Chain A
């Protein structure tokens, strides 16, 4: 009788997993790195790693649906003659026309206005779709200055100087030629069909001292009426927040690495920056150290999904959050109704991220006239408004349970962490202990 050794079960490498292998094959075949949209997809420490304590004896809860829990927020109270007042502390982040279709921009404006909040333009200029339907519109001042002009600057309700973005701190952008319609080409002053590189840095200033002078110029142009936001990628949140304050910002926006982008290198999205959770406390600490907490407002973005995320961010000291990817999903992006078409593109609903290719079956991240028709701006706007209101109700529910009559009264004491990592990043105790890693000589 022949004896055969029992075969070992085939085992795939954890390091060279299926995705990694496929990426090596793809790179070898195409000779170019993978470009995609959206934010980091790897698992990162996040708001899910925090829990609220709620009230029992030591704290006194408020009655749900009965006792008022304020949600409003004022942004830009430091210098601007006309600060922004929003009904909810959730704003819609900058997403460019060019990356998004006109109907999608209109839907964002409609949804935000219905729910009492603001939208933000993005890299590509201001469109009538968005200005016309956004009661409150933040106009981004970006390194590319595509479509930037004096009259739109004055039509804005606030100006956001974009220094960095969470998905790619230090990186520029690339809008591939296939998405350049006649209208996009005209707005960007570039020929149709060529790749459009967005610069990684502003062309006419180099550091924080220059930024201060640039902000002065923008204030002078707009007669000191409009709040000036400064947006940074979540890389060095303590120092970047402090320098933005020093430069005169009314509002600082910190965008963590779960923040989305229209298109950049996969390797960049997944390997540069810090998780949103890790960015908040250093940014708040910078404001507190400067005596500017609640005087210069802080907006945090990057992976905000529900009312619990909103409440947790506010409890850690931010004044408002901003959503991008979630807003696109609310409009209908990655919806399973288009599954067959996602399959044809080699992907599946929920994973589609080749926004730069302009073939979005949902009609949102495209300039294809036929695909764009799939977005009904009124219905999609209603969906976004519903979603924003649900998030707000969820946050209020948690806040009332913690005994707060305003979302802004949530505080770090209301939170514990499930993991040591989250406890250290958020500066709250590990659940069941009074241990905050990195504090009290631990």
Chain B
């Protein structure tokens, strides 16, 4: 990390990184080089201009504000940091996230939060197809709509959608919980509507609170989850596959 570069400067309390001047590699290396306990806890990334792999593999609780839209895999494998994209995100935002938060102020493309293990992904706009695919513990809150095949093979975690969901929601779902406020075009194999019990209302309220949603009530949502009929292979269920 060339500390004397003109591209990095103190701006308020944040360390500013201009991708028009410095490379993605330098940004990520600087983030990875941070030592535990560093006082460089606030970062600002300028001119991302659709770059792929912005702020991937961060393993410390820092805050990163990305001023603009990003390409694929922004915040991939995030572990503990809070990343805010002041724009839209390309495919695979927050893929395999471990913990921390990612907030997308705009829309997100396909596979948002794919295979995520933990943490919170908030998409203030819409998400595209396969949102939360194969999710494994992550919480995802989408203010807008989500596309088809979302939460396919979702194992655990929570997906909250304030808008509508596309076709085949929750296909082959395991233990993840899906909460959708709008309409669902169709449910995938083994995914069914379920009763919203008090513990689910409480859980959902907590998720909405964490995602900064204040004008929506948990009672407006329906819950979806696994019918658990495909958990052990049975030839009589073959038409479901």
Contacts and interface: CB of A to CB of B under 8 A. Distances in A.
A148 B52 contact: no
Interface string B1-45: 000000000000000000000001100110010000000000000
A194 interface: yes
A74 interface: no
Contacts of B91: 204-205, 210
Given A150-B98, A189-B156, A220 B28 contact: yes
A190 B213 CA distance: 30
B114 interface: yes
Nearest to A30: B235
A148 B117 CA distance: 9
A214 B73 contact: yes
Contact of B57 (A31, A174, A213, A222): A222
Contacts of A174: 233
Which of the four size classes fits the interface of chain A? 35 or more
A213 to B, nearest CB: 5
A390 interface: no
Interface in A190-217: 190-191, 194-195, 197, 199, 203-205, 210, 213-214, 216-217
A151 interface: yes
A217 B130 contact: no
Contacts of B236: 31
Interface stretch (B131-139, B197-205, B216-224): B131-139
Contact of B77 (A153, A195, A223, A224): A153
A386 B73 CA distance: 44
Interface string B151-177: 011011000000000000000101100
B92 A220 contact: no
Interface string B41-54: 00000000000110
A336 B155 CA distance: 41
Contact of B235 (A32, A213, A220, A224): A32
A199 B24 contact: no
Interface residues of B, number: 43
A73 B156 CA distance: 42
Contacts of B57: 150, 153-154, 220-222
Contacts of B123: none
Q: Which of B111, B115, B117, B156 has the most CB of A within 10 A?
A: B115
Contacts of B172: 197
Contacts of B133: 203-204
Contacts of A148: 96, 115, 117
A433 interface: no
B67 to A, nearest CB: 20
A197 B76 CA distance: 24
A144 interface: yes
A177 interface: yes
B53 A203 contact: no
B95 A204 contact: yes
Contacts of A144: 134
Given A203-B111, A223-B28, A151 B59 contact: yes
Contacts, number: 113
Contacts of A224: 25
Contacts of A216: 52-53
A338 B236 CA distance: 36
Contact of B174 (A32, A194, A210): A194
B92 A204 contact: yes
A217 B76 CA distance: 8
Interface string A32-46: 100000000000000
A373 interface: no
Contact of A221 (B72, B76, B175): B76
A150 B59 contact: yes
Nearest to B72: A213
A349 B107 CA distance: 58
Given A144-B134, A223-B29, A195 B114 contact: no
Contact of B92 (A150, A199, A205): A205
B43 to A, nearest CB: 16
B235 A31 contact: yes
A204 B32 CA distance: 23
A294 interface: no
A194 B228 CA distance: 9
4 smallest CB-CB distances across A and B, nearest first, come from A221-B57, A31-B235, A204-B114, A194-B231
